[in-house]
Structure 1
Amino acid sequence: MVFESPVERVVPNRLAGERDALMQQLDFHRATLLGKLEGLDEEQLRRPMTASGLSLLGLVKHLAETEHGWFLKIYGGLPEPDLFSTDDQPDEEFRVGPDETADALVGQYLRTCERARAVVAAGGLDDVVTTPSGVEANLRAILVHMIQETARHNGHADIIREAIDGATGD
């Protein structure tokens, strides 16, 4: 069975206000990531494609962990454990285990993004939180960071996808 993205990629409104522009950009890049998985089977999605073992599903898993960390734990202050990483395995969020499926990992990513949207919608762009490293950041900066983080990993997904089947695109 091949992957079909459950989300539609919507081009952001170039006249949107600040909050909407930031959220639309993030949603665009979230959907772009899932679009990179389109048409691939489970083996292709989990296939390690770099010397470090990175795969397309590894990117999805990592971004679910990153969204969870920044929006739910740091900004939202929710006392939740990390989704995948542990103190003794900090890079676990990039590794796809034999029992982890595309449906489960993409489902976790989508649920995490939905929860993040709700937390962001309830907050103000100027709300300030302190990160675990002691640095202060407002919600605006966290949104910009997550846009950058997701877009950067979409570049990795482009390269991985091209190496799998030659597909290229935006």
Structure 2
Amino acid sequence: MPGRVVGEREALGQQLEFQRATLVGKLDGLEDEALRRPMTASGVSLLGLVKHLTATEHGWFLKIYAGVDEPELWPADDDFRVGDGETAEVLVGQYLRVCERAREVVAAGELDDLVTTPSGAEANLRAILIHMVQETARHNGHADIIRESIDGTTGQ
């Protein structure tokens, strides 16, 4: 659980770590078929959420903030869709690796560091961290509902 009396940087980091761990915890005990099963009219699955958040972490922390020159992981319109060869092991492993790279980038940065987004807007690391806490928490809400629909499991 995140600390209740911590500084700004630590609070942001702890909240994001908590949300990341919550997402991965939503997958516990499910077989690959259940993880990839589309559970909404738009086709979202638990693994689709993992894939999307992997792309989001990669985009904001590595490409936009750190300026890493590497291609997008998937086309933007494909990041919620799980392909036939994309197993839970592959997608979760990729998520964990991207999160680790993001941690390193954030640790080396300052909250007031400014970057320019692809749309031309400026953002600082603080705003990116807040956005990623919000984005991951929002999709964890989706994961809660999807997981409950699969096997009745509820919780964090």
Q: 1:84: Cα distance to partner?
A: 1.4
Q: 1:15: Cα distance to partner?
A: 1.3
Q: 1:32: Cα distance to partner?
A: 0.2
Runs of 4+ in 1 over 3 A off after TM superposition: none
Q: 1:113: Cα distance to partner?
A: 0.2
1:76 to 66, 73, 78: 66
Query: What letter corresponds to residue 39 of structure 1 in structure 2?
Result: G
Where does residue 138 of structure 1 map in the other structure?
Answer: 124
**% identical equivalent positions:** 75
Q: List gaps (5 residues or longer) in structure 2.
A: none
TM-score, length-scaled by structure 2: 0.98
Where does residue 42 of structure 1 map in the other structure?
Answer: 32
Query: What letter corresponds to residue 49 of structure 2 in structure 1?
Result: L
Where does residue 103 of structure 1 map in the other structure?
Answer: 89
Question: Where in structure 2 are the equivalents of 1:1-170 lying within 5 Å?
Answer: 11-85=1-75, 90-170=76-156
Q: Distance in 1 between matches of 2:85 and 2:64?
A: 29
Q: Give the helix-richer structure, 1 or 2.
A: 2
Greater relative contact order structure (CA < 8 Å, 6+ sep): 2
Q: List gaps (5 residues or longer) in structure 1.
A: 1-10
Length, aligned pairs only: 156
Over the residues paired in the alignment, what is the CA RMSD in angstroms? 0.6
Q: Distance in 2 between matches of 1:16 and 1:80?
A: 35
Q: Distance in 1 between matches of 2:40 and 2:28?
A: 20
Q: Distance in 2 between matches of 1:60 and 1:40?
A: 14
